[in-house]
Structure 1
């Protein structure tokens, strides 16, 4: 059985990718700016999440039965990166989709 946090992370990633590819088609996956923004956000996520989840003195504690307990780098649960990807991508996707709609309206 897949742990709940892992399942929800995978589901979130699949839903966001599906929405981009089949519904919104904002084109962000083809833009270098998206990948740079994602790398910047995930870089800062490593700093903050690493501090929050460090095993030596955690601020956030995860129930071991709810995630895979794979931690990288430092002590960050691997699922946190999928969640971050889904959250960042959904916001940027909607933002770019709205910009695309506005640009089509002014042509």
Structure 2
């Protein structure tokens, strides 16, 4: 079944992070300009690096085409890579925000 092996976990990861914020944490991260600027900076580095790693003319990273949607943009980057990148960066920022709030509320440092 096309797209299940890599696409499904990418979609689930992105949805889980959004769900964690919207249903549990309520940090307001998605409403902050700083968050969207951060993602823009991440994309500014992810696109050239990931594009170089996945370019179809001489790939350093190979994907089994049966496990991705086949949608590649720009420079042959599988769209699933952007979902995983979003999930990873957003999860870390949400975790930091959660720790910051706990530390502010309790006045104590929280163990990682």
> TM-score per shorter chain, which class?
over 0.9
Q: Which runs of 5+ in 1 are unaligned?
A: none
Runs of 4+ in 1 over 3 A off after TM superposition: none
Counterpart of 2:26 in structure 1 is 25
Give distance in 2, aligned partners of 1:31 and 1:100.
16
What's the C-alpha RMSD, in Å, of the aligned pairs? 1.1
Q: Count residues with an aligned counterpart.
A: 106
TM-score normalised by L of structure 1: 0.93
Deviations 1:24-59 (A, max 9, x none): 222211111111001101221101100000011100
TM-score, normalised via structure 2 length:
0.89
CA contact (8 A) 1:25 1:97 kept: no
2:100 corresponds to 1:84: no
Alignment map for 1:1-107 (pairs within 5 Å) = 1=1, 2-106=3-107
